[in-house]
Structure 1
Amino acid sequence: MEFISFPKDFWWGAATSGPQSEGAFDKKHENVMDHWFHTKPEDFFQGVGPDVASDFYHHYKEDFKLMKQCGFNSFRTSIQWSRLILDFETFEVDEKAVEFYRNVIQEAKNNGIELVMNLHHFDMPVELLEKYGGWESKKVVDLFVGFAKRCFELFGKDIRYWTTFNEPMVIPEAGYLYGFHYPNYKGKGKEAMQVIYNINLASAKVIELYHSMNLEGKIGIILNLTPAYPRSQSKEDLAASEFTDDLFNRSFLDPAVYGKLPERLIKVLEKDGVLWEYTDEELEVISKNTVDFLGVNYYHPKRVKAQDHPENFKTPWQPDQYFEEWFWPECRMNPYRGWEIYPKAIYDIAKNVQDNYGNIPWFISENGMGVEVEEKYWDEDGNVQDDYRIDFYEEHLAWLNKAMKEGSNCFGFHAWTAFDCWSWNNAYKNRYGFIKVDLETQERTIKKSGHWYNELSKQNGFYYDLKEGE
């Protein structure tokens, strides 16, 4: 057994989001997920929508106390555009929402927890989707900047760490290419590419605004980086891996850190006639406004090979013509989520950021294991004995620590998630939290993993069998 130690000021915490935790109480507008549930509730697991979620809106004081008991020194959530803003054109705010977010900020301070505040977590106001086309529209880019300005004016002196977007690639991927997030489009490849560009532009404009306001803080972005491992070292499989990396990782990572979109991807999109509309002035904004730090969400890798039938994806254009996912027979799986468990990828991500992205300051902003029917692991007192979650985290942290010893500039680890929260159309199918939430009573109970995390935070490390981890 070896003690895996982390730096003195390392962040220990977790992440959630406004739309997944707060509930829709007192909101004057619907976001796209609210609207989707209210129009097609049958699309959601067991018909559970976001109206109540984990009721963080009423339980935030209790939740921060429980997070402190789990050893948190930091926590990420988000401000809901659809909650804060009353008028999306004039940026008039809802004073009740302002009061709520001020109270959340104060309660975090009362418990010695550093807040990281995110501005967009898949929660476009549905009015802006219906009126302008959402992220297909550059008008919406400017409206988002106006929303961000209000956030910075109201809360910028109290919050030191901001992020512009959470997992921005999910918006075009899930909403325009594969249809598993609202607006549930499929095969809209050209539109998806414009969404990628517009979100990069929006992020850069918000970063420019934040830095212009001379606030004493930092601003970054949260990206889901998913290594694309090729099936083989053949020319075709390697090309599939490169394209997958360019589109799903580098299309946001390169602009965030270096201020430019990947040239190899641009050439492919230009050749295929689906390159986004842009101006030189916009490219200059992107080039000059890069992040202060990076958040990385990691759950599972991608494994890809050359596409066997590219002709099926050329009309209308889809990126799948350049790659196809494949199942690695030797992999370990989380059967509840259908995701491969591959802890070494967190090391590979860390080394990629270190070697190819200037070793920018970064942190793990999400990592976690969702389990369905977690009641199977309750003891006779109703406590969750989630040793599987502890094992999952220890493996990933050991690989992260190895990269840090080799110089990777990682300053924190945030799990997904603090307390069981609502998850889009999966609702509460899979539980991720350190804290169990009873959906009937809203009673909270710290799981075994939460007590383990408290010890991890206090010791700034843990004992681990390195041979077993490998």
Structure 2
Amino acid sequence: MGKTKMLLGAALSASQSEGAYDEDGKGLSISDTVPAGRRDLTRRYPKPDGKHYYPTHQAVDFYHRYQEDIDLMAECGLECLRFSFAWSRFFPQGEEMQPNPLAVKHYDDLIDKLLAEKIVPIVTMSHLEIPQALAEKYGGWENKEFIRCFLRYSQFLLEHYGDRVKYWITFNEMNMLLYFPCTLAVGVDLTDKPEEAKAQALHNMLYANAQTIAAAHAIGKGIQIGAMIAYSPIYPVDCRPENIMLAYDLERNALSIADVLVRGKYPGTYERKIDEQALQLERTQAELDTLAQNPVDFLATSYYCSNAASIEATAEKSAGNLFGGARNPFLKTSEWGWQIDPQGLRYALNYLYDRYQIPLMIVENGLGALDVVTNDIIEDDYRIAYLEAHLHALNEAEKDGVEILAYTMWSFLDQVSASSGQMSKRYGLVYCDVDDNGSGTFKRIKKKSFYWMQSQIKNR
């Protein structure tokens, strides 16, 4: 049986694109209480106070404009769209027994519109947002009550939408919890054992993921469940043995969560860290057995940059890489300091496929840049160059034998940056006329890169 043809498409997330944060019965999510640019607080969730601008409240209004936006996707020729559901639209408090019918209908209509345009939906269940009511009541994913609440949510999604959605991703970039725990309401600032809180939260998420896979396979309908990590391959800065070992150790640590997702077991190096730090975790044998019995059907990852490792404290640091690390002098950087490494994408795909031997998805890859509009024209040749180089690397990896189910560039529309809260950090093929203060017409303007991507898909 031959490999599935790779789908080419784009991505969005609910909290960064939808807006309508308090309409049609939606409850607050933790993303709705983060003022623009304020990513410095680990976990403190004040209610919106009218004194700050909260970019997710209106975002780019995809909630109301999805029909015209999907028309643009069809015009571009997208074969798939990776997007997310807003958990707090379905369950505003997170614990209701029945979902909000207005949310159910909204996403029914959205999925039906995609399918009518022959665009395959790839749905993320939880993308950097959870109901704030759950965060306030239980804390975060370090509390096992979250497992129960998430499973009610995921079970409903699979039963209701599983006949139309084949590909599902449970959680966005699960391993980023180790670096930005606030995105999953993990209260490391409210405990004297932050590493223990993060490790417990990850275990609870992994268990919820495995339970969701079991539920999906029981339902059938050809559903495939994956989970997502953020991945940046790590190069030693030179051939010094200490730097090679450091890069190797960092790589193993970065992939420890993927090891559990795919292999169903915590790697020895991760267990060693738990033991050496004397972390007290609630992990039952039944939970560990569930992890072992329910590996993911595919592994999804984001790829924005590579990383470099140096034991030297004086080594120049990379300003933009989410994982930190040393600056690679052989790479150019974006306006936000992210190092650009198309070759690293081919390396990453081969490395992950060699390690896990399951199908992969690249579900985020793109360039954040300041776009200039002149007479409704955006000449974003820099974005075209970025995407062209990365698509070449993607195609080379496919020729290498890597099984790639889908590539969804980030992003189809400009949307709120998750890392900075900005609109001016633009990733889209389509410009959205909204600025960092939320002012603008919300008009959509096709960039030069839109037409370039259209031709790439058409001429595959």
Q: Under TM normalisation by the shorter chain, which class is it?
A: 0.7 to 0.9
Find the aligned partners of 2:429 and 2:219 in 1 and give their Cα distance: 37
Q: Percent identity?
A: 30
- Structure 1 residues 129, 182: CA separation in 2 closer, same or farther (over 3 Å shift)? closer
CA RMSD of aligned residues (A): 2.4
Supply the AA of the counterpart residue of 1:301.
S
Quick check: 1:453 aligned with 2:448? no
Quick check: 1:408 aligned with 2:396? no
1:190-216 per-residue CA deviation (whole Å, 9 max, x = no partner) reads 212222222111111111111111222
Quick check: 1:434 aligned with 2:432? no
1:156-208 per-residue CA deviation (whole Å, 9 max, x = no partner) reads 112111111111122331126xxx88668569222122222221111111111
Taking the TM superposition and a 5 Å limit, the aligned residue runs for 1:121-160 are: 121-160=127-166
Q: What is residue 74 of structure 2 aligned with on the other side?
A: 68
- SS of the residue aligned with 1:371? coil
Quick check: 1:22 aligned with 2:18? yes
Q: What is residue 261 of structure 2 aligned with on the other side?
A: 256
CA contact (8 A) 1:48 1:427 kept: no
Quick check: 1:195 aligned with 2:201? yes
CA contact (8 A) 1:36 1:182 kept: no
Q: What is the Cα deviation at residue 243 of structure 1?
A: 2.8
CA contact (8 A) 1:435 1:444 kept: yes
Within the candidate set 391, 407, 415, 1:421 is matched to: 415
CA contact (8 A) 1:344 1:399 kept: yes
- Give the strand-richer structure, 1 or 2: 1
1:86-105 per-residue CA deviation (whole Å, 9 max, x = no partner) reads 45334321111111000101
Taking the TM superposition and a 5 Å limit, the aligned residue runs for 1:96-111 are: 96-111=102-117
Within the candidate set 349, 374, 382, 1:388 is matched to: 382
Find the aligned partners of 2:269 and 2:312 in 1 and give their Cα distance: 18
Segment drifting more, 257-266 vs 442-451: 257-266
Find the aligned partners of 2:453 and 2:277 in 1 and give their Cα distance: 49
Q: Which runs of 5+ in 1 are unaligned?
A: 1-6, 310-322, 461-470
Q: Which runs of 5+ in 2 are unaligned?
A: 36-44, 315-322, 435-439
- SS of the residue aligned with 2:220? coil
Quick check: 1:51 aligned with 2:57? yes
Supply the AA of the counterpart residue of 1:452.
W
Q: What is residue 302 of structure 2 aligned with on the other side?
A: 297
Find the aligned partners of 1:350 and 1:233 in 2 and give their Cα distance: 23
Q: What is residue 267 of structure 1 aligned with on the other side?
A: 272
Find the aligned partners of 1:301 and 1:193 in 2 and give their Cα distance: 25
CA contact (8 A) 1:231 1:303 kept: yes
CA contact (8 A) 1:193 1:275 kept: no
- Structure 1 residues 444, 459: CA separation in 2 closer, same or farther (over 3 Å shift)? same
- Structure 1 residues 9, 356: CA separation in 2 closer, same or farther (over 3 Å shift)? closer
Find the aligned partners of 1:233 and 1:137 in 2 and give their Cα distance: 43
- Structure 1 residues 183, 266: CA separation in 2 closer, same or farther (over 3 Å shift)? closer
- Give the helix-richer structure, 1 or 2: 1
Find the aligned partners of 1:398 and 1:134 in 2 and give their Cα distance: 40
CA contact (8 A) 1:266 1:275 kept: no
Q: What is residue 6 of structure 2 aligned with on the other side?
A: 10
Quick check: 1:211 aligned with 2:217? yes
1:403-457 per-residue CA deviation (whole Å, 9 max, x = no partner) reads 2111111132110001111123423130000011112111111111011101000
TM-score for both structures, normalised by structure 2: 0.87
Taking the TM superposition and a 5 Å limit, the aligned residue runs for 1:332-411 are: 332-334=332-334, 336-358=335-357, 360-372=358-370, 374-375=371-372, 378-379=373-374, 381-411=375-405
Find the aligned partners of 2:139 and 2:268 in 1 and give their Cα distance: 27
Supply the AA of the counterpart residue of 1:432.
Y
Find the aligned partners of 1:281 and 1:149 in 2 and give their Cα distance: 20
CA contact (8 A) 1:115 1:159 kept: yes
Which runs of at least 4 in structure 1 moved beyond 4 Å after TM superposition? 180-187
- SS of the residue aligned with 2:57? coil
CA contact (8 A) 2:17 2:60 kept: yes
CA contact (8 A) 1:15 1:77 kept: yes
Aligned residues: 429
